[in-house]
Amino acid sequence: MTLVINNDMVAEILTMQDTIDVLESAYADLAEQEAVCRPRIDIQIPTSDGKVYQWGTMEGGSTKGYFAIRMKSDVTYETVVDGNRTHQKYCSKPGLFCGLILLTSVETGEPLAFINDGILQHMRVGADGGIGVKYMSREDSEVVCMLGSGGMARSHMDAFMCVRNIKKLQVYSPTKENRETYAEEMRAKWDIEVIACDNEEDAYQGADIIAGCTNASVPVVRADLLQPGMHILNVGGGTGMVGPEAQEKVDVYFRFGNAPHPEGLPEMALADEWITYAARPDVDNGLRQKPLGTRAHGVAMPDKVMYFSDLLAGTNRGRTSSDQISYSERGNLQGNQFHAVAGRTYELAKEAGLGNEIPTEWLLQDIRD
């Protein structure tokens, strides 16, 4: 039987520590060539009402037994919220989204599960933030500056609490009600000091970890507010949302890795965060995730970069002083994440007796393609 696992089930069984553990293992497998993935690929087609339809996939698998492809079907557009330009999306109608993970067995080829990606997506991105903090932030880091108050801000705090002894959280987001609701929730959940700040300056003050967890379309990390010893991470847009001024202040850039090149084609190796194919590619409708005709960011600070493989080999341990400013990001390894986290979710669902069963035979055929 093939399982259909929804977001409520994922939330019930998958912990942040599980997610951090399987992702660290997946990154090690990729470095040792026991796993493989490709960069995210998007197809973009203009809609009749001035938006952009976007189909996105990312995929990967490992010798540990699982392969997964994550698929997204979105209508995307940009809008201004509280004076900030943001990237928005929906499927069918605003408030609904379509993201699915197909998990298969590399031993038999059979489809094992279809999993809604909402909770798992937040968990795997939050876990990335936690891994970066674990290896790059100062061990005595206690204060978090959270920019944003949505789902990613919640999953990132889950991850930070797994890897550091966090004692204080300072949150800023443009909408007062949202940041105050988030602050109240985090205060109750973690029993730590939480301050909902009325401006960014207060959120940065005395912070050890700067977490940009927004859907903004412009850089959110303030270079003028960075102080020695801080660790920076950002969700969405990678280093593009950090900006060149902040990048200049970074001393150590921890990028988990790059997707491998196709076998026998080293010239096709790409560090790009995503690859886009577009209908009407010469039309600048203002909705693209990068400037028209340019590439998505790759290794933004090549003179400062280190990789997960460097940690494994002991060739670069990251920080060499408590005054250095560090920055971490995954790289274009999304495909390597989904087989690992989806595989663990499938195992946990089986153990818990969760998941809606459908006959695997429905998905098989006796006609060879």
Q: What is the pTM of this model?
A: 0.91
Shared-domain flag, residues 45 and 188: no
Shared-domain flag, residues 327 and 342: no
* Residue 237 binned pLDDT confidence (cut-offs 50, 70, 90): low
Shared-domain flag, residues 91 and 41: yes
Asked if the structure places residue 276 within a domain, the reply is: no
> How far is residue 43's CA from residue 56's CA, in Å, rounded to a whole number?
6
Query: Count of CB atoms within 10 A of residue 63's CB?
Result: 12
Q: Comparing 184-188, 245-249, 284-288, which segment has the lowest mean pLDDT?
A: 284-288
Asked if the structure places residue 311 within a domain, the reply is: yes
Q: Name the pairing type of β-strands 52-62 and 40-46.
A: antiparallel
Asked if the structure places residue 342 within a domain, the reply is: yes
Mean pLDDT of 252-266: 93
CATH number at residue 236: 3.40.50.720
Per the DSSP assignment, residues forming a β-bridge with 87 are 78
Task: Please give the residue range of the domain that contains residue 79.
Answer: 2-120+335-363
- Check pLDDT > 80 for residue 201: yes
Q: Which residue has the higher pLDDT, 292 or 299?
A: 299
Shared-domain flag, residues 66 and 97: yes
Asked if the structure places residue 355 within a domain, the reply is: yes
Shared-domain flag, residues 15 and 108: yes
Q: Which residue has the higher pLDDT, 283 or 280?
A: 280
Shared-domain flag, residues 326 and 340: no
Query: Count of CB atoms within 10 A of residue 86's CB?
Result: 17
Can you give the pLDDT at residue 193? Answer: 98
Burial tier of 192 (Cβ tally within 10 Å: 0-12, 13-18, 19+)? middle
Can you give the pLDDT at residue 316? Answer: 87
Asked if the structure places residue 289 within a domain, the reply is: no
Q: Which of 83, 158, 173, 170 is nearest to 128 (CA)?
A: 158
Asked if the structure places residue 347 within a domain, the reply is: yes
Shared-domain flag, residues 174 and 320: yes
Q: How many domains does the chain have?
A: 2
Mean pLDDT of 247-273: 91
- Check pLDDT > 90 for residue 203: yes
* Residue 270 binned pLDDT confidence (cut-offs 50, 70, 90): confident
Shared-domain flag, residues 102 and 169: no
Q: Comparing 227-231, 242-246, 294-298, which segment has the lowest mean pLDDT?
A: 294-298
* Residue 282 binned pLDDT confidence (cut-offs 50, 70, 90): confident
- Check pLDDT > 80 for residue 215: no
Shared-domain flag, residues 209 and 309: yes
Give percent of the chain with pLDDT exceeding 90.
78
Report pLDDT digits (tens) over 144-178: 999 999 999 999 999 999 999 999 999 999 999 99
| Average pLDDT taken over every residue of the chain | 92
Shared-domain flag, residues 51 and 74: yes
Shared-domain flag, residues 158 and 247: yes
Asked if the structure places residue 239 within a domain, the reply is: yes
Burial tier of 223 (Cβ tally within 10 Å: 0-12, 13-18, 19+)? middle
Shared-domain flag, residues 160 and 227: yes
The token pair that represents 35 in the structure block = 């796993």
Q: Name the pairing type of β-strands 35-37 and 193-196.
A: unpaired
CATH number at residue 85: 3.30.1780.10
Asked if the structure places residue 281 within a domain, the reply is: no
Q: Which residue has the higher pLDDT, 239 or 199?
A: 199
